[in-house]
Structure 1
Amino acid sequence: MTSQPSQRITLAGFIITLLGAIFFSTKAIIVKLAFQDTKVDALTLLTLRMLFSLPFYILAIWLGARKEKATPLSTKQWLQVAVTGILGYYLSSLFDFIGLQYVSAGLERLILFLYPTFAVLINTFLFKSPLHRTQVIALLLTYTGIGIAYAGELHADTSAPGFFYGSFMIFLCAVTYSLYLVGTGRLVNKTGATRYTAYTMMAATAGIFIHFALTKPLSSISFTPALTGYSIALAIVATVLPSFMMSNGMKRIGSNNVAIITSIGPVSTILQAYYILGEPLLPLQLFGTFLVIVGVLIIGRKAGKEQAA
């Protein structure tokens, strides 16, 4: 079956996915700093993120078009790529940026990382993808860890204005991103990792630009040095690099394994939020973080054994 290659775990796929998850985890930190220092709104910051990301994806499309063996996409594949792009980098990003105005970076990452559970369940029950014992153990460990850390965050954040609204927006982000993740796992081998990433990001960019054009005047953007710097960092460090790495990881090891490995994201974000934003680091967070790391290391150990075999 064509799904088998995407489910094989390799050490290279594990490392690429892990680094991509860590880069992605910087997004919440950069967004919080931008909100704090520039008072920019969520839609404007998201628009600037995609504006500065756009040249890299155009370059990727141009380089991909030069490959002689690149198979043209069918109409159905174009539609599927567009839908996954809208779900993954337009709607989910918009929900995420709105939510980050009301909740801490650490809590955002914890709620967002419900998406691997959704992705694995969709793959298992809708597409009949096998769920191996290692994946079950890793899921139990990582989500027990996330739940414990989340409980700690609740004690610190529930008094903040808009806390529950922001939490709900992040939850919607997790739902839409899980649909993107599943779609990516089923499309990336057919279209190629680089081309798929570039096309989905272009679709998302079109949606974001249209949204901005319909709701805000272009003159509302103030290109101050601070806002420009945060936008460029958000585009390159937290968008372009990890998006290509995650797609490549999915091509190598499959969306189920990627969903589990990327649970390291909350750990990375919580630590960055503590050192950079000064957010509290609670005992429950530390214990939850430990469980998440153990779960991720189980997948990494399995990756090493399969590559050596």
Structure 2
Amino acid sequence: MNAPATITTVHPVAARRVGLTLAAAGAVLFSAKAILAKFQYRYGVDALEVLTLRMLLSLPLFIALGIHESRRPGRIPMTRRDLGLIVVLGVLGYYLSSLFDFWGLEYVPVSLERLILFLNPTFVLLIGVFAFHRRVARREWIALAVSYAGVALVFVENLRVQGDHILFGSGLVLLAALSYALYLAMSGQLISRVGPLRLVAYAMCVSTAATVIHYLLLRDPARLLDLPPPVYGLALINAIFCTFLPVTFTMGAVARLGAGTAAQLSVLGPVSLVFLGAWLLGEKITAVQLIGTAVVLGGVLLLTRPAANSVPVQVEKATGGR
């Protein structure tokens, strides 16, 4: 993952407070989608139905966002290569990743799901090493080791308490994390050309199309119209408050705080899920899980500190591979 050049900017106090609030709210809301999925599963729906409803209900919002962003003055026209990359990114980042995530949630508690997904920064770093020949500082390797040690602690504890299905569910969530890491690793150059909000809006439209095609190949579309009413209400909350709003909140936070500070505040997501899962779903919190969560967050904080990326990236190799 390429480290952007550091630019020192003085942010007004009020703008900084708004940015901190947006970043924190975005992290918590995005993580809460796992809680809503767990509630929906109680009504007999599965991962594909949860994902399809989420994507269809959020689609009008992302279409409106895409139209708004495309009409901004000074936008660079997109090339065929840009459009092709958006299709790939939409399939990787919001179709496959979400599908594996919701499928895995059928088998694992939300606390473990969020910790595994929180390995995204480490996957992006490793992709940079093997695909883009990025050099990694010693502190980054230490952060990787700490993060994986924390996940291992929580994984072993859940395996002991809940049984072998944790293996399958954790594997699915791990695939979700890897898919999203590929999306992040491939999107850097495109974001600078297309813009973050326009890229997200277009990618979500592609992901919705892929999800709907998947559903139509496997299911009767009439099934989506015959689900229990609470499923639709939960899906609408998921689409607005755990999909669309977190995306826009995070972009607003980046504009006010910079990417580094906004990324560090994302640690609030998995922390909130540990307690939300216990409160709303009755999931047990053990001492080992709390220790593992603290270890993972410590590793991610090491990774997201500006000083962690101390080895310069060879720009010609990193950008040439994309």
Q: Amino acid of the residue matched to residue 49 of structure 2?
A: T
SS in 2 for 1:281: coil
> Cα deviations across residues 144-181 of structure 1 (Å, max 9, x unaligned)?
3333222222221225xx43322222222122111112
SS in 2 for 1:203: helix
Change (3 A) 1:78 1:122: same
Equivalence map 1:136-175=2 (5 Å):
136=141, 138-159=143-164, 162-175=165-178
Equivalence map 1:1-309=2 (5 Å):
5=4, 19-36=25-42, 38-129=43-134, 131=136, 135-136=140-141, 138-159=143-164, 162-221=165-224, 222-246=226-250, 252-253=258-259, 258=263, 262-295=266-299
SS in 1 for 2:184: helix
With normalisation by structure 2, the TM-score equals 0.80
SS in 1 for 2:132: coil
Q: Distance in 1 between matches of 2:84 and 2:117?
A: 26
Change (3 A) 1:81 1:60: same
Identify the range of structure 1 (4-13 vs 58-67) with the bigger mean alpha-carbon deviation: 4-13
How far apart are 1:250 and its partner, in Å? 7.4
Uncovered stretches (5+) of structure 2, i.e. residues with no partner:
308-322
Q: Is the 8 A contact 1:111 1:174 kept in 2?
A: yes
Identify the range of structure 1 (134-143 vs 23-32) with the bigger mean alpha-carbon deviation: 134-143
Q: Is the 8 A contact 2:159 2:167 kept in 1?
A: no
Q: Is the 8 A contact 2:95 2:211 kept in 1?
A: yes
Q: Distance in 1 between matches of 2:273 and 2:92?
A: 23
Q: Distance in 2 between matches of 1:204 and 1:82?
A: 8
How far apart are 1:294 and its partner, in Å? 3.9
Q: Is the 8 A contact 2:150 2:293 kept in 1?
A: yes
Uncovered stretches (5+) of structure 1, i.e. residues with no partner:
304-309
Q: Amino acid of the residue matched to residue 209 of structure 1?
A: V
Q: Is the 8 A contact 1:261 1:296 kept in 2?
A: no
Q: Amino acid of the residue matched to residue 153 of structure 1?
A: N
Q: Distance in 1 between matches of 2:229 and 2:82?
A: 40
Q: Distance in 2 between matches of 1:249 and 1:127?
A: 28
Q: Amino acid of the residue matched to residue 193 of structure 1?
A: P
> Cα deviations across residues 161-217 of structure 1 (Å, max 9, x unaligned)?
x43322222222122111112123332122101101101101100100111122212
How far apart are 1:265 and its partner, in Å? 3.4
Change (3 A) 1:249 1:181: farther
Percent of aligned positions with the same letter in both sequences? 38
